[in-house]
Amino acid sequence: MDYNLILALIIGISVLLFLIIKLKLHAFISLLIASIVVGIVAGMQPEEMMKTIQTGMANTLGFVATVVGLGAMFGAILEHSGGANIISKMMLKRFGVKKAPIAMVITGFIVAIPVFFEVAFILLVPMIYALQKQTGKSLLTFAIPLLAGLAVTHAFIPPTPGPIAVADIIGVDLGWVILIGAIVGLPTAIICGLFFGKYISKKIFVPVPFEFDTEEKTALTPNFSTVITIISVPIFLILLNTFISSEIIPVSSAKIIKFIQLIGHPFSALIIANILAWYILGIRQGFTKAQLLKITMKSMEPAGMIILVTGAGGVFKQFLVNTGVGQMLAESLAGVGFPVLVFSFIIAALVRVTQGSATVAMITSAGLVSPLLAQMNFGDFDLACIVISIAAGSSIFSHVNDSGFWLVNQYLGLSEKDTFKSWTMMTTILALVGFGSVCILSAIF
């Protein structure tokens, strides 16, 4: 065992956490600095290190930048058209006020597919305020199910940025990640959203913290079936491509296979979804072309940060590969019989708890785990399970160093203590149930 490589890994991770936690440097530059530190300690030459940065960034962003950018534009049009609110209102109409927590879980689960977690929560907060006023129950009765649905989809199901980035760094078909993420995510959302939500709402009564406007907007809004159809299109196309390429669905015609591979690639699927959203949710709803251009341009601001951090995560991964740290870790884990599924969860959880950001935790963990997988013969199913394991670990124990903690704290009007008891506990249950579910799934199949 090369102890110099172990030292390089330990120092690299320590520098990363120090820069993010203590110096409050952005994760993008922190990951780049930590990567260079790994290279220096491992004995890489300066020219080799610069080439490694270029290679790692290019290999990662070729896929991620395109998908995250297209996904952000799609979500922005859905948000501004009122699509998210249409989904929540229809869910409430179908389930009724008595079963509103179920409606909130489903709403969160669907809305977070195209819309960023924070944006979706802020959009839907007035809905849970209105439910609290109407029923007199604790706000947590509706907030925890909504948050659970949002958090599960945000972490587990592409085209949200986290699982897209991890899937690309690890090298697994996105359709498999969507499939495994949905199978694991739905029961996870039910357990941590409905069951825990019902329990904690009886322990902590929370009234509506703000005055809010319930007046209906008069602008044109799309109908429920239209919104659901448009959201479903890219997911359906990606899954169809996965099933046909994996021969789960046998197709004899080579022309049909090539056509499905074209429209079912994440690039094409999201381009199609954007065109549909631009026309159906935009032009037909009364938006001008200039307004739609402004909306989509604005959506690139948060997407740009995610893209850069993901690229830097790819650089970190490349340094681990080129220095030989990844191969050394793989041989060590194989020697002691330590499962990669467990290792990926633990690493993601440790990074998440220490520095706060779920996205950074996912990308950093993927960079550490990816070189190990190159030494092992895993299929797409197993790799997708590892992606979800990382996603689960990165969701655990949201606390004061996570912006999500304060978002929930402020919008629900909670004390820090009650935020720990409700939101932090919910994210921990989510992580453990998600990890347990994917372990069971992996063991069965």
292 is written with which tokens? 């739609």
Q: What is the pLDDT of residues 199-228, one digit of tens each?
A: 999 999 999 987 655 444 445 678 999 999
* Residue/partner pairs of 89-92 with CB below 8 Å, 24 or more apart: 89/127, 90/224, 92/127, 92/131
290, pLDDT greater than 80: yes
pLDDT band at 364 (very low <50, low <70, confident <90, very high): confident
Q: What is the pLDDT of residues 169-201, one digit of tens each?
A: 999 999 999 999 999 999 999 999 999 999 999
305, pLDDT greater than 90: no
Structure confidence at residue 400 (pLDDT)? 81
Question: Using an 8 Å Cβ cutoff, are 391 and 166 in contact?
Answer: yes
Average pLDDT over residues 143-149: 98
Average pLDDT of the chain to the nearest whole number: 90
Q: What is the DSSP string of 391-445?
A: HHHTTS---TTSHHHHHHHHHTT--HHHHIIIIIHHHHHHHHHHHHHHHHHHHH-
Q: What is the pLDDT of residues 332-344, one digit of tens each?
A: 776 666 789 999 9
Closest CA to 380 of 171, 192, 195: 171
Among 63-67, 114-118, 195-199, 337-341, the range with the most confident prediction by mean pLDDT is 195-199
Q: What Å distances lie between residue 218 and 82, 109, 215, 285, 286, CA to CA?
A: 11, 27, 9, 12, 12
Average pLDDT over residues 226-251: 91
Task: Please tell me the total number of residues recorded for the chain in this structure.
Answer: 445
432, pLDDT greater than 70: yes
Structure confidence at residue 218 (pLDDT)? 40
417, pLDDT greater than 60: yes
Q: What Å distances lie between residue 87 and 92, 103, 407, CA to CA?
A: 9, 9, 22
For residues 90 and 103, give the distance between their C-alpha atoms in angstroms, rounded to a whole number: 9
For residues 87 and 90, give the distance between their C-alpha atoms in angstroms, rounded to a whole number: 5
Among 9-23, 83-97, 411-425, the range with the most confident prediction by mean pLDDT is 411-425
Structure confidence at residue 1 (pLDDT)? 58
